[in-house]
Structure 1
Amino acid sequence: MSVGLLLLRVLLAALLFGHAMQKLRGWFGGAGRAATGAIFEQWGFVPGARMALVAGLAELLGAASLATGLLTPGGCAIVVGTMTVAAVATAVHGFWAQRGGCEVPFWYGAAAAVLGFTGPGSWSLDAALGLPWSPGYAWGAAALALGLLASAVPLASRARVLRERRTTAPRGDDPAQA
């Protein structure tokens, strides 16, 4: 089981690293921070460039935690929170990724939640240091709850921005408001 958990942790961490570097540096066909920031602005995350930086750094921190198996419940919480925000923002396009949907962030967040419940396995820095993240309900539930709670802050801010845009946007059916 430890080999499987190590493989899951490292593969998820590698994907998160790539995802982060697309935002932060434009690697792997990504848009880079400025263009990603513009996309974030359209989605209601303002200021977009700063939010892209925060998202990219959170993905890197979560990836580092999962790859090494160090402070695993915290890394899982970071990934769950970041991917929840991304999934909500892209859910308007449906689920599947080929239509721009939330499939990828949903999967990354779900895999992190699973690792929160299973623990990092014996091939991890947590195990080597004797940290108490044994598999179980409590640590997984804590990581999941903390991640979801943390996602509420940017999602609430986004909801406020989108509400303001709707109330200040000119109506197309009233030429006096255009």
Structure 2
Amino acid sequence: MSTTVSAETTATTTAYRTPQVDLALLLVRIVPFGVLAVFGAQKLFGAFGGGGLTATEASFAQMGYHPPLFFALLGGGCEFAGGLLLLFGALTPLAAAMVMGVMINAFAAVADKPLETAALPVILLVIAAALAFSGPGRFSLDAGRPWQRTGFTWGGVSVALAVVTAGASLVVAH
């Protein structure tokens, strides 16, 4: 069984890649998505001073998500798993789609709030989208692996998956 990697993927992973770019991608992954994984752990497990699943379920119910337990698990799970996967640079297009989808929903929930509240979901969404197109860099679990996918096509698929799933959850939940 052979694995073929498109010319686009090969060009994307080798062109313009310097150690400085790979280090920058590592830093861009570690801080925001480490924090996002902590937020997910707070929602799911009550870790790091979070309210846990019961509080998250109540919060989702208050925001109008029904059934609230399902959406609490989905939202917290996407924050936790997507954050960890992007932190480590693993399954990047899928992880980016998870994060973008939950950030679209997070933005929808706070769109009427002040800018400082609504800014974080937008920032995380844009960083995840950038990583979906660029790839996680050399210092990642994806680097050089047969499953590594980067480039315009995979970034586009990731964004499309996020938009479709986020839109579906917004329509179904309310």
Q: Normalising TM by the smaller chain, what interval?
A: 0.7 to 0.9
Which among 52, 55, 70 is matched to residue 32 of structure 1? 52
Number of the residue aligned with 1:143 = 158
2:41 paired with 1:21: yes
Number of the residue aligned with 1:155 = 170
For the aligned residue pairs, the C-alpha RMSD in angstroms reads 1.6
Percent sequence identity is 36
Secondary structure, in 3 states, of the residue corresponding to 1:121? coil
Q: Which amino acid aligns with 2:67?
A: P
Larger RCO, structures 1/2 (Cα 8 Å, 6+ apart):
2
Q: Which amino acid aligns with 1:113?
A: A
Residue by residue, what CA displacement relative to the aligned partner does 1:142-167 show, whole Å, maximum 9, x if unpaired?
11111111101110023xx3xxxxxx
Number of the residue aligned with 1:104 = 120
Secondary structure, in 3 states, of the residue corresponding to 1:113? helix
Residue by residue, what CA displacement relative to the aligned partner does 1:112-163 show, whole Å, maximum 9, x if unpaired?
01111111111122113143423x32221111111111101110023xx3xx
Q: Which amino acid aligns with 2:72?
A: A
Residue by residue, what CA displacement relative to the aligned partner does 1:28-79 show, whole Å, maximum 9, x if unpaired?
3432211221111111111223311121111122122212212111100110
Displacement after TM superposition at 1:82 (Å): 0.9
Number of the residue aligned with 2:135 = 119
Within 5 A, what are the aligned runs for 1:71-90? Answer: 71-90=91-110
Q: Which amino acid aligns with 1:128?
A: G
Could you tell me how far apart the structure 2 residues matched to 1:104 and 1:27 are? 21
Secondary structure, in 3 states, of the residue corresponding to 2:147? coil
Question: In 2 relative to 1, CA 132–33 (structure 1 residues): closer, same or farther, beyond 3 Å?
Answer: closer
* Larger Rg belongs to: 1
Which among 103, 107, 113 is matched to residue 93 of structure 1? 113
Deviating 4+ runs (over 4 angstroms): none
Q: Which amino acid aligns with 2:103?
A: M
Secondary structure, in 3 states, of the residue corresponding to 1:8? helix
Secondary structure, in 3 states, of the residue corresponding to 2:149? coil
Alpha carbons 2:100, 2:159 under 8 Å: kept: yes
Number of the residue aligned with 2:28 = 8
- Give the alignment's TM-score, normalised by structure 2: 0.81
Could you tell me how far apart the structure 2 residues matched to 1:50 and 1:141 are? 27
- Give the alignment's TM-score, normalised by structure 1: 0.79
